[in-house]
């Protein structure tokens, strides 16, 4: 269907005499796609390629009493069995590269598993079938633990502890609170003035991105004392940084090649494959491929997380919404991955594209024994937008108003102050509503049709609330950002008990001049890692008293430190 | 353990090879078995293939049609004698599955697959194992299918359906034109043959295709109009335990079964 | 593990390779004879990314036992056309932006070719049916369907289409 341009809107804000924008341009990769020659990661052939397959937990939550790999090691074609103890730094959180959150997830579980499908061992074998046959021979003695799969169950006092880094099953924001807060005005006072209170509960299930190309990576020794890694990652430097951290290898020892991705949709940022494929090369000296099969992609591959939202609105008889309160629960699954960030993004978006003078939100990033969640197209926004729009219909019904006219009435306009304390500009919800109504042959009033996003905004609506009620609900103590990215070597880094001890790589294969970046001194967990690499050793420090207040402010919208 | 594949030119030899090993599987078109191989299924380590042309025959046998177990869905669609089964064969997988998947293999398909078997159940097919001229009814075959995994089906015999309107089939899916079935319904309405001429079968309403016996009884002697089928719709799921899976809940299946059955019986079913 | 010799025609050329017992055709094509155009998407026969033609009919190479193609004719996108001389289907896919990530494209093209070889003037419904076993997760189906129809109608059919 051809794109329809509605150039009558905002004509003076736009230059239509552009050479490229608005005109079709052939993709540079199209010829490769239609001839089947585009180089996806699995399209790189290596002589002597080994295949990695993981032994995975059949339980949602279980302690690993012991793992017996003796039979698997003797299977034909098996070159190596990799356990958690073989991973140089077997504890990570993806966003530690952005100095956000505590390391909470091993590459290969050692003590317990917290979701079904979590890897506990990896087999490296000379064929995929040999690897599968050996996986079937690994014996794990499981002590099955009670599990929790629902966000609100998980935060009850006696719920099973999913993630030991966060013993209350809640991610800690800004080292201070067990949820992300939004406070704007005074919702309780506004609720008392409102003619109607409209409440709703909304939820959505996890959604698997299901790319046609499954996630994976192929790594191989390179002759220049490096490892080459072909990967399906959507976040090449992110994956590089993560591999450098987990393997304690300087990033300039790794040559990452990506860019041709067989569908990602957000599901290819978790960087699980690159480190294990490279570790396979380190331990065997041969090219290694680690690739999800379809069942793994669906069960183990991180989905868009489930969300549950409670919304409470204070509404006047004329349809004006004067207060909106959110309580949100993001199901992060067993580990943080990107859900913590999704909430920051989502809360910045509240209360949706509407101007509401009093807004309040408590949004919780909850750990459950489900598959860890990650990015997917607009994650952090999609679920709450679904909830908000479903709720708008409920509000319209309550006050007996047309649902589109209710949206136009409450729509943000240019110059309005938003709850995240920025002025709105280039708004276009009013026009979207009008065009949607027209397309759907939905009659709206002349008054609603006359509105524009340029009318009615600013002025009083540009002002911050006279008074914003704040609180210390959910205050926690003892958490401090373990800064991986910042060089804090001048400060004593106290490794927490939960953090893994870094170990030397047990390498049978050493490329020329290869030296592990962290020498064998790492048996002492309390010693800061003296790695010469630009990336210092990750040392989370939840027990530290230093809450980071003395650090200089840096530009970082994620950690909420961006200066106005 | 690695898989061994052996190919026999004669059916007798293939049957003997299958009988010798509990860890052997007979290879039809491979659409189910190769998936199991790819996924490292540890329950078998031997694959027996057979290139005997007898498995590919479709022939008339009095009032019956005998279809070789190795006949593919595409061949069922293209053969004039089995044309009335084409609407069933056409909804098995996509075109690339149909050029490999066999009618014999479909007899062993687990949920959510096995639409052809649902149709064969409604038609009252007779399953003939190699070296066993007698054959068993498909009802008996399905009753202990699991224990017959290493027996070799040679052919499937079904009645010739003279009036195509007497055989009806619907596959209910969320995705069109190809999707896994929430349920399938097959009805053989051979009312001229007197009592017992009506057979109705469901797919995906139990662990394997299952007869809707209460529906069959209710349709005995009834006219195929709103009033005539009312009783059959009331008992549409009587005696059934529909599964809950990724496609639908048991509750949902129970709720929509009468709707689809009604459309099928009134001839307004959308394929 | 026992190796078996397999000799077959790939895009008009004689090929020979040794296969492992139980090995699928996708592996034979990709690693055995180096034709990387068919893709792995599921190994279950549900996504269609590995679709090839065998003796003129569409088949899923991931669930085809490699040794069964002995003596048969296999066609892949590898033989369909190249940058200097594209097949009309490839040209139509390009014109209609019928590929986004490109991973399903080789399978789509072979499913479409299998249709057009047997039915050079398909209806829209027949095109939809022909690619029904091929999943495009970027959801570019409309552009793909239009491309197949356009290729069937020759170059003239594209006039007026966006």
Going from N- to C-terminal start, the domains of chain A cover: 180-206+312-462
**C-chain residues near B92 (CB < 8 A):** none
Q: Does some domain include residue B270?
A: no
For helices C141-152 and C105-118, what crossing angle results, to 10°? Answer: 30
In this structure, the answer to whether residues C92 and C50 fall within a common structural domain is no
Q: Does some domain include residue C66?
A: yes
From the list A2, A33, A263, which residue is nearest C137 (CB)? Answer: A263
A160 burial (CB, 10 Å; 0-12 / 13-18 / 19+) is middle
In this structure, the answer to whether residues C74 and C7 fall within a common structural domain is yes
In this structure, the answer to whether residues B23 and B114 fall within a common structural domain is no
Inter-chain contact C59–B96, Cβ cutoff 8 Å? yes
Which of B50, B68, B84 lies at the terminal end of a domain, its last residue?
B50
Inter-chain contact C129–B37, Cβ cutoff 8 Å? no
In this structure, the answer to whether residues C75 and C29 fall within a common structural domain is yes
Tokens 């349809």 appear where?
A319
User: pLDDT tens across A74-92, in order?
Assistant: 999 999 999 999 999 999 9
What's the pLDDT score for residue C154?
61
Q: Does some domain include residue B100?
A: yes
CATH number of the structural domain spanning residue C145: 1.10.150.120
Q: Does some domain include residue C64?
A: yes
Question: Is the distance from CB of B119 to CB of B85 less than 8 angstroms?
Answer: yes
Which of C79, C110, C134 lies at the terminal end of a domain, its last residue?
C79
Judged by DSSP in three states, B87 sits in: helix
Q: Does some domain include residue B72?
A: yes
Which residues lie closer than 8 Å to B191 by C-beta, 6 or more apart? Answer: B166, B197, B198
What's the pLDDT score for residue A509?
46
C22 to chain B, any CB pair closer than 8 A? The answer is yes
Q: Does some domain include residue C67?
A: yes
In this structure, the answer to whether residues B149 and B86 fall within a common structural domain is yes
Distance from CA of A398 to the nearest CA of B (A): 31
Judged by DSSP in three states, B72 sits in: strand
B58 to chain C, any CB pair closer than 8 A? The answer is no
Q: Cis bond leading into A351, ω under 30°?
A: yes
In this structure, the answer to whether residues B153 and B196 fall within a common structural domain is no
**B-chain residues near C104 (CB < 8 A):** none
Closest CA to A407 of A429, A381, A376, A374: A429
In this structure, the answer to whether residues B150 and B210 fall within a common structural domain is no
What's the pLDDT score for residue A552?
38
Closest CA to B7 of B45, B48, B65: B48
pLDDT of residue C160 exceeding 60, the answer is: no
Q: How many domains does chain C have?
A: 2
Which residues sit opposite B137 in a β-bridge?
B126
In this structure, the answer to whether residues B130 and B180 fall within a common structural domain is no
Cα–Cα distances (Å) from C65 to A229, C2, C52, in that order, read 31, 15, 13
Q: Does some domain include residue B271?
A: no
- What single-letter DSSP state applies at residue A205? -
In this structure, the answer to whether residues B174 and B210 fall within a common structural domain is yes
Inter-chain contact A136–B40, Cβ cutoff 8 Å? yes
C47 to chain A, any CB pair closer than 8 A? The answer is yes
From the list A76, A130, A293, which residue is nearest B39 (CB)? Answer: A293
- 3-class SS shares of chain C: helix, strand, coil, % to 5: 40, 20, 40
Q: List the strands of the sheet with A112-113, edge to edge.
A: A112-113, A62-68, A139-144
Distance from CA of A52 to the nearest CA of C (A): 16
Inter-chain contact C65–B178, Cβ cutoff 8 Å? no
Which of C36, C58, C79 lies at the terminal end of a domain, its last residue?
C79
Please give the angle made by the CA atoms of C4, C10 and C16, to the nearest 5 degrees: 30
Structural element, H or E, at residue B73: helix B73-78
In this structure, the answer to whether residues C118 and C61 fall within a common structural domain is no
Average pLDDT over residues B117-129: 97
pTM greater than 0.95: no
Closest CA to A145 of A170, A104, A121, A111: A111
CATH number of the structural domain spanning residue C73: 3.10.20.30
In this structure, the answer to whether residues C51 and C105 fall within a common structural domain is no
Which of B159, B181, B215 lies at the terminal end of a domain, its last residue?
B159
DSSP string, B114-134: -HHHHHHHHTT-EEEETT-SS
Which of C55, C79, C103 lies at the terminal end of a domain, its last residue?
C79
**Pairing relationship of beta strands A50-56 and A288-291 according to DSSP bridges:** parallel
What's the pLDDT score for residue B195?
65
Backbone angles phi, psi at A187, to 5 degrees: -65, -35
Top residue of A28, A32, A36 to mutate, by most chain C CBs within 10 Å, is: A36
Question: Is the distance from CB of A335 to CB of A105 less than 8 angstroms?
Answer: yes
Structural domain including C21 reads: 3-79
What's the rounded Cα separation, in Å, for the pair A143 and A159? 17
Residue of A nearest to C49 (CA): A212
Backbone angles phi, psi at A210, to 5 degrees: 50, 55
pLDDT band for B263, please (50, 70, 90 cuts).
Answer: very high
Q: Does some domain include residue B26?
A: yes
Inter-chain contact B40–A130, Cβ cutoff 8 Å? no
Structural domain including B73 reads: 53-159
User: pLDDT tens across B17-38, in order?
Assistant: 999 988 999 999 999 999 999 9
pLDDT in tens, chain A (564 residues): 567 888 889 988 888 888 887 778 899 999 999 999 999 999 999 999 999 999 999 999 999 999 999 999 999 999 999 999 999 999 999 999 888 999 999 999 999 999 999 999 999 999 999 999 999 999 999 999 999 999 999 999 999 999 999 999 999 999 999 999 999 999 999 999 999 999 999 999 999 999 999 999 999 999 888 999 999 999 999 999 999 999 999 999 999 999 999 999 999 999 999 999 999 999 999 999 999 999 999 999 999 999 999 999 999 999 999 999 999 999 999 999 999 999 999 999 999 999 999 999 999 999 999 999 999 999 999 999 999 999 999 999 999 999 999 999 999 999 999 999 999 999 999 999 999 999 999 999 999 999 999 999 999 999 999 999 999 999 999 887 554 444 344 444 444 444 444 444 444 444 444 343 443 333 444 333 433 333 333 444 444 444 434 343 333 334 444 333
In this structure, the answer to whether residues B192 and B228 fall within a common structural domain is yes
Average pLDDT over residues C137-162: 77
CATH number of the structural domain spanning residue B100: 3.30.465.10
Q: Does some domain include residue C161?
A: no
Top residue of B7, B95, B247 to mutate, by most chain C CBs within 10 Å, is: B95
In this structure, the answer to whether residues C70 and C95 fall within a common structural domain is no
C40 to chain A, any CB pair closer than 8 A? The answer is yes
In this structure, the answer to whether residues C70 and C101 fall within a common structural domain is no
C93 to chain A, any CB pair closer than 8 A? The answer is yes
For helices A382-399 and A403-410, what crossing angle results, to 10°? Answer: 110
Average pLDDT over residues C124-145: 95
Inter-chain contact A213–C106, Cβ cutoff 8 Å? no
In this structure, the answer to whether residues C10 and C71 fall within a common structural domain is yes
Q: Does some domain include residue B29?
A: yes
- What single-letter DSSP state applies at residue A215? P
A33 to chain C, any CB pair closer than 8 A? The answer is yes
Which residues sit opposite B184 in a β-bridge?
B171, B203
Which residues lie closer than 8 Å to A69 by C-beta, 6 or more apart? Answer: A81, A83, A121, A138
**A-chain residues near B1 (CB < 8 A):** 133
B47 to chain C, any CB pair closer than 8 A? The answer is yes
From the list A129, A135, A136, which residue is nearest B2 (CB)? Answer: A129
Which two three-digit tokens encode residue C108? 């789509």
Tokens 């019928």 appear where?
C98
Rg value, chain B, Cα: 19
Inter-chain contact C99–A36, Cβ cutoff 8 Å? no
What's the rounded Cα separation, in Å, for the pair A561 and A559? 6
Closest CA to C24 of C40, C1, C47, C7: C40
**Pairing relationship of beta strands C73-75 and C3-10 according to DSSP bridges:** parallel
What's the pLDDT score for residue A159?
98
| CA torsion, ordered A170, A201, A147, A297, to nearest 10 deg | -90
In this structure, the answer to whether residues B79 and B21 fall within a common structural domain is no
Q: Cis bond leading into B177, ω under 30°?
A: yes
pLDDT band for B268, please (50, 70, 90 cuts).
Answer: low
In this structure, the answer to whether residues C100 and C68 fall within a common structural domain is no
In this structure, the answer to whether residues C10 and C67 fall within a common structural domain is yes
Q: How many domains does chain B have?
A: 3
Inter-chain contact C132–B94, Cβ cutoff 8 Å? yes
Inter-chain contact B2–A130, Cβ cutoff 8 Å? yes
What's the pLDDT score for residue A399?
98
**B-chain residues near A295 (CB < 8 A):** 39
Inter-chain contact A213–C86, Cβ cutoff 8 Å? no
Question: Is the distance from CB of C25 to CB of C61 less than 8 angstroms?
Answer: yes
CATH number of the structural domain spanning residue B254: 3.30.390.50
Q: Cis bond leading into B112, ω under 30°?
A: yes
Residue of A nearest to C31 (CA): A45
Backbone angles phi, psi at C14, to 5 degrees: -70, 130
A111 to chain C, any CB pair closer than 8 A? The answer is no
In this structure, the answer to whether residues C137 and C75 fall within a common structural domain is no
Cα–Cα distances (Å) from A12 to A413, A416, A453, A454, B158, in that order, read 17, 20, 14, 12, 74
Please give the angle made by the CA atoms of B106, B112 and B117, to the nearest 5 degrees: 30
CATH class of A180-206+312-462: alpha beta
Closest CA to A29 of C113, C112, C83, C146: C83
ipTM: 0.95
In this structure, the answer to whether residues C7 and C75 fall within a common structural domain is yes
The 3-class secondary structure across A422-462, one letter per residue, is: CECCCCCHHHHHHHHHHHCCCCCCHHHHHCCCCCCCCHHHH
Inter-chain contact B42–A130, Cβ cutoff 8 Å? no
Judged by DSSP in three states, B152 sits in: coil
Top residue of C27, C60, C74 to mutate, by most chain B CBs within 10 Å, is: C60
Distance from CA of A133 to the nearest CA of B (A): 6
Inter-chain contact A129–B42, Cβ cutoff 8 Å? no
**B-chain residues near A130 (CB < 8 A):** 2
Distance from CA of C124 to the nearest CA of B (A): 13
């Amino acid at each position: 269907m051809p794109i329809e341009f509605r150039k009558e809107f905002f004509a003076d804000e736009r230059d239509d005499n552009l050479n490229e924008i608005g005109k079709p341009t052939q993709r540079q990769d199209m010829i490769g796609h239609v001839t089947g020659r585009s180089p996806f990661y699995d399209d790189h052939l290596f002589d002597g390629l080994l295949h990695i397959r993981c032994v995975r937990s059949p339980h949602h939550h279980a302690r690993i009493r012991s793992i017996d790999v003796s039979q698997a090691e003797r299977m034909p074609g098996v070159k190596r069995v990799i356990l958690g103890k073989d991973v140089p730094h077997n504890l990570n959180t993806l966003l530690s590269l952005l100095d956000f959150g505590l390391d909470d997830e091993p590459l290969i579980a050692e003590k317990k598993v917290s979701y079904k499908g979590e890897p506990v061992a990896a087999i490296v074998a000379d064929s995929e079938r040999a690897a599968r046959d050996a996986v079937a021979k690994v014996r794990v003695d499981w002590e099955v633990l009670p599990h929790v799969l629902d966000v609100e169950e998980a935060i009850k006092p006696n719920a099973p502890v999913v993630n030991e880094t966060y013993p209350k099953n809640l991610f800690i924001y800004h080292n201070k609170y067990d949820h992300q807060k939004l406070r704007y005005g005074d919702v309780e006072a506004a609720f008392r003035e409102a003619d109607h209170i409209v409440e709703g509960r909304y939820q959505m299930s996890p959604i698997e991105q299901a790319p046609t190309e499954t996630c994976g990576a192929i790594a191989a020794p390179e002759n220049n004392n490096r490892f080459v890694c072909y990967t399906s990652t959507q976040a090449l430097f992110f994956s590089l940084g993560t591999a450098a951290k987990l393997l304690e290898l300087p990033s300039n020892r790794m040559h990452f090649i990506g860019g041709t991705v067989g569908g990602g949709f957000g599901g290819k940022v978790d960087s699980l494959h690159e480190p294990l494929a490279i570790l396979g090369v380190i331990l065997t000296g041969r090219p290694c491929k680690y690739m999800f099969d379809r069942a793994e992609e669906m069960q183990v591959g991180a989905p868009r997380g489930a969300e549950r939202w409670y919304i409470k609105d204070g509404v006047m008889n004329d349809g004006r919404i004067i207060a909106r309160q959110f309580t949100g629960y993001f199901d992060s699954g067993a580990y943080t991955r990107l859900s913590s960030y999704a909430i920051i993004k989502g809360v910045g978006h509240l209360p949706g594209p509407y101007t509401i003078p009093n807004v309040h939100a408590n949004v919780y990033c909850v750990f459950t024994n489900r598959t860890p969640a990650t990015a997917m197209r607009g994650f952090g926004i999609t679920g709450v937008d679904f909830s908000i729009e479903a709720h708008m219909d409920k509000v319209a019904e309550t006050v007996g108003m047309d649902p589109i006219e209710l949206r136009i009435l409450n729509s943000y306009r240019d110059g309005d102050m938003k709850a995240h304390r920025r002025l709105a500009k280039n708004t276009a919800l009013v026009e979207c509503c009008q065009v949607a109504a027209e397309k759907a042959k939905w009659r709206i009033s002349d008054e609603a049709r006359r509105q524009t996003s340029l009318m009615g905004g600013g002025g009083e609506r540009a002002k911050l609330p006279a008074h914003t009620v704040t609180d210390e609900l959910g205050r926690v103590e003892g958490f401090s950002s373990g800064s991986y990215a910042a060089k804090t070597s001048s400060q004593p880094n106290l490794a927490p008990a939960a953090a893994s001890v870094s170990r030397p790589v047990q390498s049978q294969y050493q490329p020329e001049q290869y030296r592990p970046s962290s020498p064998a001194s790492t048996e002492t967990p309390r010693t800061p890692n003296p790695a010469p690499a630009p990336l210092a050793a990750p040392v989370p420090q939840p027990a530290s008293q230093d809450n980071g207040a003395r650090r200089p402010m840096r530009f970082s919208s994620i950690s909420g430190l961006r200066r106005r | 353990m690695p898989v061994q594949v052996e190919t026999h030119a004669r059916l007798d030899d293939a049957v003997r090879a299958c009988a010798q090993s509990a860890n052997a599987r007979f290879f039809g078109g491979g659409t189910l078995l190769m998936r199991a191989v790819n996924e490292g299924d540890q329950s078998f380590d031997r694959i027996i293939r057979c290139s005997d042309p007898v498995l590919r025959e479709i022939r008339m046998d009095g009032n019956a049609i005998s279809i070789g177990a190795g006949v593919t869905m595409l061949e069922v669609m293209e053969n004039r004698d089995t044309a009335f089964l084409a609407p069933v064969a056409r909804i098995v997988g996509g075109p690339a599955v149909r050029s490999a998947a066999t009618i014999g293999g479909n007899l062993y398909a687990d949920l959510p697959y096995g639409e052809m078997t649902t149709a064969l159940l409604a038609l009252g097919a007779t399953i003939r194992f190699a070296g066993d001229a007698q054959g068993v009814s498909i009802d008996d075959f399905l009753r202990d299918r699991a224990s017959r995994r290493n027996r070799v089906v040679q052919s499937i015999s079904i009645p010739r359906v003279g009036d195509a309107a007497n055989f009806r089939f619907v596959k209910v899916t969320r995705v069109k034109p190809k999707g896994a079935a929430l349920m399938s319904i097959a009805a053989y309405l051979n009312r001229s043959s007197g009592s017992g001429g009506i057979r109705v079968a469901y797919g995906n309403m139990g662990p394997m295709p299952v007869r809707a016996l209460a529906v069959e009884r209710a349709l005995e002697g009834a006219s195929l109009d709103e009033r005539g089928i009312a009783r059959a719709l009331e008992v549409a799921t009587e005696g059934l335990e529909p599964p809950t899976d990724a496609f639908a809940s048991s509750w949902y299946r129970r709720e929509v079964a009468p709707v689809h059955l009604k459309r099928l019986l009134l001839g307004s079913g959308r394929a | 593990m026992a190796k078996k010799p397999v000799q077959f025609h790939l895009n008009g050329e004689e090929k020979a390779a040794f296969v492992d017992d139980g090995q699928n055709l996708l592996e034979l094509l990709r690693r055995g004879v180096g034709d990387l155009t068919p893709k792995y998407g599921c190994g279950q026969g549900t996504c269609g990314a590995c679709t090839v033609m065998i003796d003129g009919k569409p088949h899923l190479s991931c669930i085809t036992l490699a040794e069964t193609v002995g003596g048969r004719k296999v066609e892949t996108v590898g033989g369909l056309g190249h940058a200097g001389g594209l097949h009309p289907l490839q040209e139509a896919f390009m014109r209609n932006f019928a590929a986004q990530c490109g991973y399903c494209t080789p399978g789509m093209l072979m499913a479409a070719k299998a249709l057009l070889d047997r039915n050079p003037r398909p209806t829209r419904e027949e095109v939809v049916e022909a690619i029904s076993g091929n999943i495009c997760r970027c959801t570019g189906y409309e552009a793909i369907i239009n491309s197949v129809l356009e290729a069937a109608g020759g170059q003239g059919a594209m006039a007026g289409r966006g």
